[in-house]
Each structure stands twice: as C-alpha cells, then as structure tokens.
Amino acid sequence: MDTAIESLGVARIPSPLKHVQHVTDDECILYDSSARNVEQQIREGQTPVSFMKAGPRDFMYFDPSKLKCAVVTAGGLCPGLNNVIRAIVLTLYYSYGVRNVLGIRYGFQGLVPQYGHPILELTPKSVGDIAELGGTVLGSSRGPQSVEDMVDALERMNVGILFAIGGDGTMRAVSKICEGIRNRNAKISVIGIPKTIDNDISYMSRSFGFNTAVTVAAEVITAAHVEATGSPNGIGLVKLMGRRAGFIASYAALAKRDANFVLIPESDFDLEGPHGFLAVLEKRILDRKHAVIVVAEGAGQQYAHGEGTDESGNPRLGDIGIFLKEAIDEYFKGKGIELNLKYIDPSYTIRSVEATSDDAIFCTFLAQNAVHAGMAGKTNMVVGNWRDEYVYIPVDLVITGRKQVELDGKLWSSVLEATGQPSFKP
Amino acid sequence: MDTAIESLGVARIPSPLKHVQHVTDDECILYDSSARNVEQQIREGQTPVSFMKAGPRDFMYFDPSKLKCAVVTAGGLCPGLNNVIRAIVLTLYYSYGVRNVLGIRYGFQGLVPQYGHPILELTPKSVGDIAELGGTVLGSSRGPQSVEDMVDALERMNVGILFAIGGDGTMRAVSKICEGIRNRNAKISVIGIPKTIDNDISYMSRSFGFNTAVTVAAEVITAAHVEATGSPNGIGLVKLMGRRAGFIASYAALAKRDANFVLIPESDFDLEGPHGFLAVLEKRILDRKHAVIVVAEGAGQQYAHGEGTDESGNPRLGDIGIFLKEAIDEYFKGKGIELNLKYIDPSYTIRSVEATSDDAIFCTFLAQNAVHAGMAGKTNMVVGNWRDEYVYIPVDLVITGRKQVELDGKLWSSVLEATGQPSFKP
Amino acid sequence: MDTAIESLGVARIPSPLKHVQHVTDDECILYDSSARNVEQQIREGQTPVSFMKAGPRDFMYFDPSKLKCAVVTAGGLCPGLNNVIRAIVLTLYYSYGVRNVLGIRYGFQGLVPQYGHPILELTPKSVGDIAELGGTVLGSSRGPQSVEDMVDALERMNVGILFAIGGDGTMRAVSKICEGIRNRNAKISVIGIPKTIDNDISYMSRSFGFNTAVTVAAEVITAAHVEATGSPNGIGLVKLMGRRAGFIASYAALAKRDANFVLIPESDFDLEGPHGFLAVLEKRILDRKHAVIVVAEGAGQQYAHGEGTDESGNPRLGDIGIFLKEAIDEYFKGKGIELNLKYIDPSYTIRSVEATSDDAIFCTFLAQNAVHAGMAGKTNMVVGNWRDEYVYIPVDLVITGRKQVELDGKLWSSVLEATGQPSFKP
Amino acid sequence: MDTAIESLGVARIPSPLKHVQHVTDDECILYDSSARNVEQQIREGQTPVSFMKAGPRDFMYFDPSKLKCAVVTAGGLCPGLNNVIRAIVLTLYYSYGVRNVLGIRYGFQGLVPQYGHPILELTPKSVGDIAELGGTVLGSSRGPQSVEDMVDALERMNVGILFAIGGDGTMRAVSKICEGIRNRNAKISVIGIPKTIDNDISYMSRSFGFNTAVTVAAEVITAAHVEATGSPNGIGLVKLMGRRAGFIASYAALAKRDANFVLIPESDFDLEGPHGFLAVLEKRILDRKHAVIVVAEGAGQQYAHGEGTDESGNPRLGDIGIFLKEAIDEYFKGKGIELNLKYIDPSYTIRSVEATSDDAIFCTFLAQNAVHAGMAGKTNMVVGNWRDEYVYIPVDLVITGRKQVELDGKLWSSVLEATGQPSFKP
C-alpha cells in the first residue's frame, strides 16, 4: 500500500498558524499496533503499512487572501454534519484567513446548473449556531451527477478547495472529480470527510455520528425492553441501521444489556429448525415471558429479498424488520401462543439528532485536519482517525473495502456474552 | 348530575394523618368556571354541576392494620404508570400504615386463575426505584375478563381496596366489578385512576403521561423537520397517537412550531380537489421545498379504512400514516415531481419513556388522592384533576363521553396560526 | 376587587382573526372554584371575584398596518423568555399583520439613551430559532430607570404597544410607566407578562419557567442523593431558588422523593435543641448513614442574616446554603462524627436552560393572549393563567401580594409525607 | 520498560469461554504509533515499548467453582463506577461461572473491621439495574488504611481476586496490598481499574467517566454563555475539574465553542499587566459586552494558595474559581465598569450523573478485561486502553507519572483557535 499522495504543485507560502506543532509528510502512523507483527516485518526488510499523519504543514499551496473554498454534503443524514461544516468554515476563517466559503446545496446536485439550487455564502456568523441542529444546513441528495458538469462548476466559481462530506458514493465521486480535475490540469484540491453512520469504513477506527447513533439506539432498545416486559409474552423488535456491518446494533446492545438477541449482517442464522432463531425465541418466551430482539437492516438478507439498487447505487435491501415481525407472528400463531410484539424502526429519529459532545469534538478535529490538508495542497485524500491519531488516507484506498464486525473478535464475543444467544445453527 | 357516591358503610376510624387539611364530602369544585353561567344558574334556582373535592377524610372505613390492597394496570403503556404504583404503595404504607399491598400481574388477567400469573408483593423497598423506569412493573394486558372470576379472586385474596389504573375499557371493567361486588354485598372498594395518553377523558383537564408524550412527540417533529429540510422536496411525515382526539398532535405541534400541517380526527379534510390536502401540499413543496406533516392516528378515517375491533373492544383504525405516505408518493409521482418523504411512527418510543418531572409529581398527587378515597370507603369513583383541583368523579360519569379538540377553541386556533394551514375544504 | 381596565379609547377596527372564538370583556373566570363559597356569595347578593377572560376581541384599537410594538425583558433569567418573545413577534406578524416590532436591549436600560444600547428589529426570521436557546436574546438588566426617560423613548420611537416581561419590579415599573403615559395622554398600551421562576405571583396558578426549573432542580436533587449515598455519613445539601416561597424546593422534592429534608421560607425551624434541625439530622445520619437536604434560598433568614437591598430593590438575603453547610460541619465536628458534606448551588444552571415543551407551549399561549390584549387597546394589565384559563388581571392587583406554600395544604403535606420530616419545633 | 507481570503460579485450568479469540501474553501493543520511531528503534536493536494485550487467556489460575471475588470502589465519584461493578459481576457469573462476589462498602474502610461496614453480596440480580444510577452502590471513601488489616480481611474472607476501582491513591494502595500479599505468600490477585475523571493517567488514552464529564461540562458552559449574554457586561465563570491536567476544560470548551477563555494548570498566565488576563478580559468586555471563562481547578495555583493535603494525600488546592471571581470583580470596580458576573461550580452535578452510552460500553470492556486478567492469575496490574486496544499495564508503571495537555499539541492549539485567547504573557 502506498502512502504517497498527489499534489497540486509545490507549497511555498508559510503557514500562518502559531503555537502549533506543524507536521511533515514523512510522519506516519503505523497501521498495525502489534509489536510482534511490526518487528517481524522490519526484520524481514519490509516497510510496515502506515498512514500520513494529519495536521498543519509548514507551507501552504493556496494563498488564503485569494482562495475560495466550497463545502458539500451528500447522502443520508448523519449526526455531526453541521459540526463539520461549521468547523471547516471557522478554521478557514480564523486560522488561515480565508474569507470566501461557499455552501453547495443539496449534495452534488448543487454543482449542476439544471437543478437551479442557489449557492450559500458561509461565514462565521451564518454557521455560528448550526451545530445545535441535526441534519445539514446545506441539504443533501443521493445519486451521481455528471463529472464534467461538476468540474465546470468548480472552475466557473473559481473554487480552490472542495470539501466533500459523504458516504461511499460521495468518496467515489471525489475520486472521479479528482480525475476530471487532473485531466484539465486544474488547480483544485478535493478533500473528503467520510460519513457513515454504520461506522464501516476501512482504515478508520471511527466515523463521525456513530457515537451519537449508538447513544440514541441504546435508548430505543430500552424502550423495546419496557414494551416487552409490559405485556405477557411481550416482544420488542428493533430494526437498527447497518447495511453491511452490525456495529450500531452491537454497540447499542452492549450499552444497556437489555437486548436478548442481536442479528447482524456478518452472522448468518437459521430461521427454522430446532436450533433456528424461531425455536430459540420460543424457548425464551416460554421461559421468561419476554424478549428483546435487535436486528441490523442488512441482516438475514437470504430471507428478506431486496430488489434493484437505490439512488446511491447500493443494492436495495429487503426489509428484514417487517419480515421478522411477520415470521414471528406467524410462527407463534401456528403454535397457539399469544404474543404481544411491538416493532420499532427508529431510523430517521436517529439520523436527525444533534451530535453528542463527543461527536461534536471529533467533527471539529476532522474538519480542522481536512482544512490543513487542503491548504497544504493535498488532494484526493480523506481525513480519518486511526487508533487515536488523525491521518490522511488516499481516497482510492478508502473506497476499496469495508469494515465488518469480526465474529471471533472482542466486540461480537461481548455481545454474545451480554445476550447469551447461541449460534442459531445446527 | 349527581355528585353523591356509593359508600361501603359508615367510616368511623379516625384518620391518622397529621398536619394536613382534611376535606369533607360537601366541599365541591365547580365544573364551569364562567362567572356569568354560574351566577345565572344559581339565580334561576339550579345547582351548578360540581365535583367532590379530593383529599383525606376525617374518618376511614378500613382499619389499616387489617387491610389488604391491590393494584392493577391495564391497557397500553403510558408514561407514569410506575409513578402511580409507587405512590399508592408509599402512601398506603407511610401515611396510613397499611402493610399488605399486592401487585396484580398483566392487567385483569392477573385476577383470573387460568392464566397462572403470580401475584407480587409491593413494599416501599420493592417500588423504591421503579419510577426511573418506563412502562409498568406489574405488566399489563388488554381485553375483558370474567367479572365473576375477578370478584372471586378479590374475595379469595381478602382484598379491601383495588386500585385500577387503565383506560376506557378498564374504567368500564371497574364499573362492572363494582356491580359484581354490590351484588355479593362484599366490602370491597374499587378506585380508578384513568389512564389515557391521548388526554381525551371527559371531565378531566389532564391525564397523566400526556405531558411526557407531548415532550417526546415534539422531539420527533423536530427530527421530521431536520429530515424534511435535509433533501430537496423533503417531506417529514409523523404519525402520533390520538384515536379520537388530536391533543398530542396539536400540543406537540405548538411546542416547536416546526409542523406545517396538523391533521386530527376532529377536523375532516379533503384529500383531492383544488383545496384538498394534496394540492395545498404541492403548493407548499414548490414554494418552500420542504414540509412537515403531523397526523394523529385517528385522522382521515374516511380514507384509511380500518376493520373490526381490537382486543380492548375499540374499533380498529385504518393506518392513516401509511395511507398518506402512499397517497402523497403517488400524487407527486403523477405530477412528475421528485420527492423525499421520510415517514416516522414513534408510537412505542413515546409510550415507554420515563415520566417527566411534571408528570411524576402529577402521578404522586393522583395516587395519594386515590388512596384517600379508598381509605374513606368510597368506591366506583375515579380520581381526576379539574382546573387545578383534585376531584373524585363517579366512574359511570367518566365513561359516558370523551373530550375532543374544539375546532373554534384556543388550542386549535393556535395550531392553525402556528402552521398557517387552511381548511382543506372547498 | 374590580375587574374593569383602563382603555385607551374605543376599539373600532374589526379583528382580522379567522376560525377563532372571540371573547367579550364580560366573560369572566371565577376566582374561587368552591361551589359552596360561590353559591353563598351570590345568594347573599355579592358578586364573586372573577378575572376577565383572555383572548381575541371583536375589535382592535390599533391599526396593524401603522402600528409599532416593542418588547422588553427585565430581571433575572428564567426559562421561556425567548419563547415569549418569539410568540409575541409571530402573533403580531402572522395573526395581526403588524410589521414593526422592536427589541429593547438589556431591560429598561434599553429605553434610556445614556446607556447607548442599540435597538433590535424583531422579525419572524430573526426570532425563528431563538426558542432553542436559554436566556433572552434581548438581554436583561435589573433596577429602576427614570419613568420620564422611558415614556420619552416610547413616544420618540412611536411605540403603540410595549410588552414588558419581568418580575415584581418590572410589573411595578409597568404601573408607573402607565401612569406616566396617562399623564401625557399618550396613546400607548403596556401589557405585562409576569416572570417569576419562584411561581409566587398572586392570582396566577402558574408562571412560565417554573415547570422547567422544577425539572432541572429534581435532577440536581438526584445528584445530591448520589453524592450522599456515595460516602459514609454523606450529606447532599442543595440550595434552590425561592426567596419568599418554597414552591421549587417542594415540587422538586416530590418529583423524585430523594430529599429527606426540605426547608422553605414559609416554615420556620429551630436549628438547635433536641427537636431542632441539627439533632434530627444527626439521628438520621446515625440511623441511615446519609441524608439529602433541600433548602430554598429564602428559608431560615433568622440565621443567615442578609443586609441591604439588591438592584431590584429586594432585600438581600443571607446565604442560608453556606450558613447551613458551616453549621452542620461544626455541629458534627463537635460531636466527633466524620461527615462527607457536598454542597450544590445550581442557580444559574437552572435559570439558563431551554424551556421544557410544556413551558414552551405555555409561553406561546401567554404571548398570544398578551398580543390580543394589546391589540384590543387594553393597558396596565397582565396576562396570566387561573385554573387552566388565560385571564387578564390589572397590574396593580398583581403587585399587591405574593403566593406562598400553605403549610396545611396538599403540597406541603405531600412534602412532609415524602420526606417524613418533623416540624423541628419543641 | 518491562512488560512482564508477577504471576501467582501456573494457570492450568482451561478457559470456559467459547467463540472468543484467546490472547497470549506475548501479544503486545506498541506504545509509540510513529512508524519512523519504531523502525529506528528496531534497526538500532532496541525493543520498542509495548503493553500486554488484554483479553481472555487459554488457561485460568483460579477454579471458578471455588473462587470468591471482591470489588471495591475508592476515591471521589466518577460516572461509570456502577457500570464497572455490574460488568465485573456479570462477567464473573456468566462467562466464568463464579458464584461468589462480595461488594466492599465505602472503599478500603470496608476491609477494616473497626469501621463496621457490612459486606454486600453481589449477584446478577442485585446489580441488574444499577447502571441507570450515578455514583457507586458500594459507596466510597478516601484515605489510606492499614495494609495488614486489609490483607487480613482478604484472607479471612477467602477472597481470590480483588478488583479495585479508584484513582491514584487507590492504585498506590493496590501496589502496597500486593506487596503485603506477596510477603505472606498468599494466593490473592489484585487487579486495578484506574478511575480519574480528569483523564490524566499516564499510558492510558482514555479513562472511564471522562466522556460523560465532558458532555455535562459542555452543557454548563452553554449555561454560562446564556447568563453572560443575558445582561450588560455579563461574565459567565465556570470552574471545572482538573487538578493537574486541563483535559475536561479543554474538551468541554471545544464541544460547544462558547468559551472565550480557558485556563488550565499546564499553562501559566499573568493576571496583571498590559498582557495579563484581566486586561485582556477588560478589552473583550468593552468590545463584545460579554465573556465566558472556563477555569480548571488546578489552574493559577500561584494566585490561589492552597494549604496542606486532603484525605487522599493530594495537596489541597486553593480555590481558583472564587479567587478569580473576586479578582475580576475588584478589577472592574476599580475601573468603574459595571459587571454582571455569574459564577458556576458544577463539580458534584458532573461527578454524580449516569454514564453516557459511550462510557457505559467502555466500562463494560474494561471490566471484562479486568476479569480476564484476574482469572488468568495476573496481579498488581491495571486494565487500560491504549490507542483503541485494551491492555494490561503494571500498577507500578501507572502510578509513576501523569498525563497533561501538551501546550504545542493539537488539543491545546484547537482550544486556542476556538477561543482566540492570547498567551497572557508579556
């Protein structure tokens, strides 16, 4: 893996930041923290994988007094978007003296003239209180737009740095826009700030909004527990976010320990049969009179068949929540057992809340480091966090894979321990 | 209307309460607060309607040292149930010295042997921390049970006072149980504490849990607003509780003023036509690019046809939320307008939360006054609050009608003002 | 008592409000809700005391298209101030079509030129999000200003209606300003919205911010309980607001039942002696190893001697919190008993929070009715709430007395029951 | 630095844990994440510092069926204590099958007979709901106890593993108890879980409760901001925890960006003089009419002289909050500038709250790993988190130093950027 990045040219303007340790490009953070692995690699003459450390550089590529920047948010809502927007604007303004920052409306649609979305001017005053609000003041949208149109717009508006906050699709768009820029030999930097409420980006210990999502999801699990214990044979069934990774479901289940079953995309389960989920659930209901089930939206896709793809190009998932609700109802009806199942799908009420303090601070650091990268003339990079250090990672690396819950790792074994659930396999 | 109540006999045991004003049965609270109306009635020789003032009486009917009481919760969950249970137990124990209090499990099922639910013993220690939890530690259930079975159980367990917390169906059950008790000439008092998260009980200014429900519902409306403004032509559609009355929808809409349309059972609306809801919504979307719609579950039942009745005997409502979601999607698709509709149905996450401080205090006062009523030998009464005074009202009066939002009253006119919505009628 | 008000002249302009019940001046709300008392008075030929019902009138005195209004907030912070400001502006704008609303900065200082505070323009946009914030966007100040200066400013700015939100001192100022206006025969209405976090205004069932204050205060009592139980012989001592009335202390103590002692201004207590507070506390500590004490700031003023008056002209209270802390420490040191006392004074963190939903709605109704009063040409009146009805009350009546906790009433008896505390008297 | 630990003997009993990756003692986590540093050390033949990875071991030293464990909490309250206690009990019970867990009351006092504190039995049921409460159900105390007495008690009660949760003093006690145990050749393991709300433990990226503390502290700063802007020349002055390290003050200031000045122990400041704090504050007040000051309790100790030491043996700090309040008041009075200073000291309301979800999960992982360590026969170790990995660190290493805010690091430079504050030095 390569840690080098493309540069727009040579950065020659001295950094205006005071009282701050500046970082050089050869300061790198080890990917692997295992002493044994790293020692072995080095002894064998290999270079261990590492990521470029984030932070202000000694020299800037752009002249702040002449620079215009733009910020865009794309994809679904995620707590912290406004915090990132605000911190980008404040850092550009107060740390670097950049006076022109544009807000692109409704995702990449805002860069395409035919949609007619107006451009916002972002100032310290206009972003001052936005972090108290959930969502994004810029609006968002899904789906790809014409790369030519978008690069045209950036050139026409004379944008020097574009900060793109969004998910998988957005990072792929960043990669393509950078290619378009390179083809024109334009002097535009694009820096990505990856957004995934599911926390499933490779090479990133943590993504913003995840902490908030887990906090709210844990409250919903408590609600499900209250409903489940409130009636005879009560079942609280909660569907949580997690298309390909069950991090939210797993962490939320650990936060309160009210969940009795956690179903995630990473772990297949049988529905029928003596060891299947329904039989185990029946045993629990007969023994304990209530159960709380947490299911990630991407779990059990062999049962809940989705069709086609959504606007962002992701395969459309089948609705495992509704499927399970109906499968459980039918199973217990067949057994002649009265059941009180309450189904909760809190998706939007999780995505739209204000960030926790912890996420708010995290967003601030991400944004500051995104600005440092852009000012130094880096491009086609994202800012991330690896083992408590802020790092710059090539976009193309980030979009190649996804993180998942390891089934023999400490997270999932804690979940198994907390729930006591079996494997649902013969 | 008659304010007299049935009594079990003559209460002769002096009240043990110190430092407290005792109340006599002829202290009554005027139903009507209009000076003009009351004066006119009196001048015309009529007796204005009034409710018996709640509070401790000089004499008790039951001897605390020999008394056994029972508490039952029935119907759907509502914030504050545990607060009422706790305060009944603490008041019986500390104010009156009653040492035996039973918790009946899973509603009236708990009084019917065939279900086999065990009985709980409730002590100050066992109820000490329950108010931090939502739901009911007793569990609940819906649907009627045999009156004979229930009165049998009360006699067999030697219960002197039964405190029944529940909705409409529960209050009807209280009435029938009292009839059954009277027929046997048994010495059992039954006191109701009406529960309706919808706040639609006649002759009651307020019901417990409503304050909490509005608080949480208002947060959900904010979430819908964030989602609506987060994408182009965004619509946040929230379905709230309110089978026959739109109080939660109306108050929650006033709390934050993010709602643009509020649809309640009391106010019919046209869906189609130039003044219909869909046309007005289209205009709003074209003008403002987003809209927040709050719909009470009982609204628009001419469109969302429900069938049959539920376990509590209430007519089953059609799902107006899903109906509206689909009608809106179809309408805009027909017009070729892209739409981003997010549908939120938070029912269980509202019903299951811990009570607000305000509701917690209210529940305490209701429970204390319920205990005062029972100890004084009243029966077939409910405890309520009328214009800031706690009162006792005959059960049979309470179950005769329902409160609704007055369409020319101050609440609805405030909602119309806050939303700016028209009448949706030609 | 007289329910008539002074009027600026005859209101002749028809109300623009649609779909709303208008109210006439002779619709009055009975002060006393006791059926017996009211009947007796009427039979004896007396007119029972009543308050004029609030609401829109058929005719307006001011022409909205030419009207300029002003809003001022004075005194200490209280949750809900921004909600009142916002609802005044929105009601003036959307319901009546008033386009000019001024925000007076820093209380009555803002009407006095020498302070040089600028005037704000208040529009639906500028007040749109302010209710999410605690405090007052106008700022506030204490202390009286020259009536002549203030009336000069109102005339100079051509203000038709002044909405004054504030406490006791503010209401006295309203009375004097109205007198000054009358002396000049000016056509200016002044409407008061009484603010008292202590909830101690006579003739008002409830004041805005009180619900919020109790909610936060209850959480602080829980914190004190946690600290008290966290160490051997732990004492949590909480000082709450309540200069002359112990409503916050009493209600907050009821909300969670963690308090073991509640000391309020209305109830004297002995400190020393076998029945005094210190001896009772010692007994509790020896028996139970911890205690939670809630003291209202105005309690025990015979011990904590205050001197002089504050800027608002109120007598300066001695600090009973610090006094008790020291007295308890010394007493137990004298007895050789190790103690872990944690003292909490949360005043500003209570005053500055966002209003609860319940207070937010209440503030909206108060503000709407204040606007209705002003538009109808009423002056020298306040808007209040009496037994669930909004009413107009002459300012001069409101400033004549204060509400206190009745020591033989239901509130205090509930507190005594919840805490089990004795009278602290021989 | 040495990563070896003392062992009680050879662990021979196979681990009962299923579906979990077991860890071996030679899996170590690199202390330094810098690729350059690590490579250089290895090339130079040095062994880079690393910590033993936490997790279940293949073999246990103790036989669960015969093992008795004990848990003690010492020092000041910190959010998460009950979460740690609960997770220790649940992990011992459900993962390892240990049936005897004792709760030691009121810190190490509970091991000393003369105090007479009873021992609690901890079971899954008794700890089931304790995580909803702040504080510690065991109680706590400060100050050292006789090592002989404590080891006597452990032997007398036949305790195999003692889990000690506490601060600096507690970890020093662990070290001494282990020495005492070794001297007697007893077979007792002691595992520490370091507690410091200040987050200032060396070699630990994070300590439990810190996330919660920052969350609540940020809300208090918002309250101070509301108060400061609520009156002319308003100052909100907040004293936060942080005896020797300003982490809480710094992070809380970043969470909301309402703070204008942050004073921490690591950064000296001049009070007087043209560049001193008071002059800079005056300029801000004259320019902006309000200011928010956050001061960590250990800041400015050259001004606020403390005397002696507290019960835990820490030097008693002078009260910098009160000192600053008085110094500011006096300074502005001297300048003839009216000031409205509101002082907030929220210490206990921060220490006593329920843990955030994030801290709750963190506490669970810490506790599980503490149990794994104890069961494997490790002793005199603490469990910690280093760069997202759970590790075991020798107690003696942990008590040798303290973490502080680096004045040229990214945290402090973000704070300087967020506040815009100068160095307060000539």
Gap between the Cα atoms of D76 and A344, Å rounded: 40
Give the mean pLDDT of D355-361.
97
User: What per-residue confidence (pLDDT) applies to D19?
Assistant: 77
DSSP string covering C167-189, please?
A: -HHHHHHHHHHHHHHHHHT---E
* Contacts with B133 from chain D: Cβ below 8 Å: 129, 132
The predicted model gives B207-221 an average pLDDT of 97
- CA–CA min distance B161, chain A (Å): 23
What does the alpha-carbon distance between residue A109 and residue A145 come to, in Å, rounded to a whole number? Answer: 7
Q: Residues 53-92, chain D: which have Cβ within 8 Å of C?
A: 77
Q: Which chain A residues are Cβ-neighbours of C132 within 8 angstroms? A: 132-133
Q: Residue B46 to residues B49, B51, C39: CA-CA distances in angstroms?
A: 9, 16, 10
Structure tokens given for D400: 């040798």
The answer to whether the CB of A74 falls within 8 A of the CB of A108 is yes
Residue C348 is nearest to which of D134, D342, D351, comparing CB atoms?
A: D342
* pLDDT the model gives residue C5: 46
- CB < 8 Å to D34, chain A: 27-30
Q: Is the pLDDT score of B117 beyond 90?
A: yes
Write the single-letter amino acid at A360. A
Residue B2's pLDDT is what?
33
- Domain annotation covers residue D7: no
Pairing, β A340-344 against β B59-60: unpaired
CA atoms of A78 and A212, how far apart (whole Å): 9
C291 and C185 housed in the same domain: no
Between residues C19 and D30, the one the model is more confident about:
D30
Nearest CA in chain D to C117: D232
Percentage of residues in chain C having pLDDT higher than 70: 98
Q: Are residues C272 and C380 in the same domain?
A: no
Nearest CA in chain C to A130: C129
In degrees, rounded to 5, the angle at the alpha carbon of residue C50 between the alpha carbons of residues C46 and C52 is 140
Using CB atoms, which residue from B140, B232, B349 is nearest to A231?
A: B140
Rounded-to-10 torsion of CA D341, D344, D345, D351: -160
- Among residues A25, A26, A63, A198, which one is catalytic? A198
Residue D319: DSSP 8-state: -
Q: Write down the pLDDT at residue D6.
A: 52
- Per-residue pLDDT of B366-416, as tens digits, reads 999 999 999 999 999 999 999 999 999 999 999 888 899 999 899 999 999
| Chain B interface includes C40 (CB < 8 A) | no
Inter-CA distances, A165 with A104, A171, B408, Å = 11, 8, 48
The pLDDT, as a whole number, for residue A1 is 28
Let me know whether C233 and C169 are in one domain: no
| Three-state SS at C86 | helix
What pLDDT sits at residue B5?
45
Establish whether A27 is an annotated binding residue: no
The parts of chain A modelled with pLDDT lower than 70 are: 1-7, 312
Asked if C93 and C131 sit in the same domain, the reply is yes
Check residue A3 and give its pLDDT.
32
Same domain? For D185 and D301 the reply is: no
Return all residues near A334 (Cβ < 8 A) that are at least 6 apart.
Answer: none
* A76 annotated as a binding-site residue: yes
User: Cβ atoms within 10 A of the Cβ of D49, count?
Assistant: 17
For chain D, give the mean pLDDT. Answer: 93
D129 is catalytic: no
Q: Based on the domain organization, do C362 and C332 belong to the same domain?
A: no
Q: Are C170 and C75 in contact (CB under 8 A)?
A: yes
- Whether D212 and chain A come into contact, CB under 8 Å, resolves to no
Give the CATH number for residue B175: 3.40.50.450
Least Cα distance to D105 among D79, D70, D77 occurs for D70
Structure tokens at A100: 């022109």
Residue C95 near chain B (CB below 8 Å)? yes
D58 in a labelled binding site: no
Instruction: Name B201's bridge partners.
Output: B402
Would you state the torsion angle of the CA atoms of residues D295, D296, D300, D303, taken in this order, to the nearest 10 degrees? 80
- Here the CATH number for the domain that contains residue D411 is 3.40.50.460
Q: How far is A85 from chain B (nearest CA, A)?
A: 14
User: How many domains does chain D contain in total?
Assistant: 2
CB A76 within 8 A of CB A351: yes
| DSSP code string of A342-376 | EEE--HHHHHTSPPPHHHHHHHHHHHHHHHHHHHT
In a domain, B401, yes or no: no
- Give me the pLDDT at residue D423, please: 85
Q: Are residues C194 and C56 in the same domain?
A: yes
The closest of A153, A77, A72, A156 to A120, measured between CA atoms, is A72
Is residue D242 annotated as involved in ligand binding?
A: yes
Instruction: Determine whether the interchain pair A232/B109 forms a contact, defined as Cβ–Cβ distance below 8 Å.
Output: yes
Same domain, D339 and D324: yes
Residue A132: list chain C partners with CB under 8 A.
132-133
Find the angle CA(D131)-CA(D133)-CA(D135) to the nearest 5 degrees. 100
> Mean pLDDT throughout D286-294?
97
Q: Are residues C193 and C71 located together in one domain of the fold?
A: yes
Most distant CA atoms of chain C, gap in Å: 78
Of B399, B402, B423, nearest in space to B179 by CA: B399
**pLDDT, tens digit, 9 for 90 and up, residues A321-336:** 999 999 999 999 999 9
Characterize the bridge pairing of strands B161-166 and B68-73.
parallel
CB < 8 Å from C in window 327-366 of D: 342, 344-346, 348-349, 351-353
Please write the tens of the pLDDT for every residue from A79-134.
999 999 999 999 999 999 999 999 999 999 999 999 999 999 999 999 988 998 89
Asked if residue C3 is part of any domain, the answer here is no
Which has the closest alpha carbon to B13: B61, B69, B65, B57?
A: B61
Q: Can you give the pLDDT at residue D129?
A: 87
Dig out the tokens for C175 from the structure.
Answer: 């009375």
Range of the domain at C333: 212-351+407-419
* Contact at CB, D226 and C346, closer than 8 angstroms: no
Cβ contacts of B412 on chain C, cutoff 8 Å: 19
pLDDT band of residue D7 (cuts 50, 70, 90) is: low
pLDDT of residue C7: 58
* pLDDT of A7: 58
Whether residue A163 is found in the same domain as residue A307? no
If asked whether residues A222 and A143 sit together in one domain, one would say no
- In this prediction, residues D332-340 reach a mean pLDDT of 96
* B424 occurs within a structural domain: no
DSSP one-letter code for A190 = E
- Segment 127-156 of chain A within 8 Å of chain C by CB: 129, 132-133
Within a domain: residue B1?
A: no
D177-235 pLDDT tens trace: 999 999 999 999 999 999 999 999 888 989 999 999 999 999 999 999 999 999 999 99
Which tokens in the block code for residue A5? 């990045």
- Give the count of Cβ contacts less than 8 A between chain B and D: 6
Residues contacting B68, CB < 8 A, separation 6+: B100, B101, B102, B157, B158, B159, B160
Does B220 contact A106 at a Cβ distance shorter than 8 Å?
Answer: no
Q: Which of B184, B155, B190, B213 is nearest to B72 (CA)?
A: B190
β-strands C189-194, C120-121: how paired? unpaired
Same domain (yes/no): B106, B237: no
> Which of B83, B136, B226 should be substituted to probe chain A, the one whose Cβ sees the most A Cβ atoms within 10 Å?
B226
With respect to residue D127, please indicate whether it lies within any of the assigned structural domains. yes
Res C256: pLDDT? 86
Asked whether residue C57 is assigned to any structural domain, the reply reads yes
Verify whether the Cβ–Cβ distance B410 to C389 is below 8 Å.
no
Q: What is the pLDDT along chain C (426 residues), one digit of tens a residue?
A: 233 345 577 889 999 998 788 999 999 999 999 999 999 999 899 999 999 999 999 999 999 999 999 999 999 999 999 999 999 999 999 999 999 999 999 999 999 999 999 999 999 999 988 998 899 999 999 999 999 999 999 999 999 999 999 999 999 999 999 999 999 999 999 999 999 999 998 889 899 999 999 999 999 999 999 999 999 999 999 999 999 999 999 999 999 889 999 999 999 999 999 999 999 999 999 999 999 999 999 999 999 877 888 776 778 889 999 999 999 999 999 999 999 999 999 999 999 999 999 999 999 999 999 999 999 999 999 999 999 999 999 999 998 888 999 998 999 999 998 898 988 987
Residue B418 C-alpha, separation from nearest chain D C-alpha, in angstroms: 27
> Nearest C-alpha of chain A: how many angstroms from B142?
9
Q: Which of D82, D126, D129 to probe by mutation at the B interface, max B CB count within 10 Å? A: D129
Residues whose CB is less than 8 angstroms from the CB of residue A189 and which lie 6 or more positions away in sequence, other chains included: A8, A61, A62, A160, A161, A162, A373, A374, A377, A378, A379
* Contact flag C94-B48 (C-beta cutoff 8 Å): no
Number of cross-chain residue pairs from A and C with Cβ atoms under 8 Å apart: 6
Distance, in Å, from the CA atom of D294 to the CA atom of D310, rounded to the nearest integer, reads 24
D77 interaction partners in chain C (CB closer than 8 Å): 226-227, 230
Beta-bridged to residue D293, according to DSSP, are D237, D261
Q: Is D419 annotated as a binding residue?
A: no
Are B364 and C131 an interchain contact pair (Cβ–Cβ within 8 Å)? no
Please report the pLDDT score of residue D5 as a whole number.
46
One of C32, C198, C258, C319 is an active-site residue; which one? C198
Note the pLDDT of residue D2.
33
Give the angle subtended at the CA of C177 by the CAs of C171 and C181, to the nearest 5°: 145
Rounded to whole angstroms, the Cα distance separating D170 from D143 reads 9
Q: Is the pTM of this model over 0.90?
A: yes
Which chains contact C through at least 3 pairs of Cβ atoms less than 8 Å apart? A, B, D
CA distance B231 to B224: 12
What does residue A191 show for φ and ψ, rounded to 5 degrees?
A: -120, 130
What's CA A172's distance to the chain center, in Å?
A: 14
- Whether residue C426 lies inside any domain: the answer is no
- How many angstroms separate the first and last alpha carbons of chain B? 41
Q: What's the pLDDT score for residue D208? A: 97
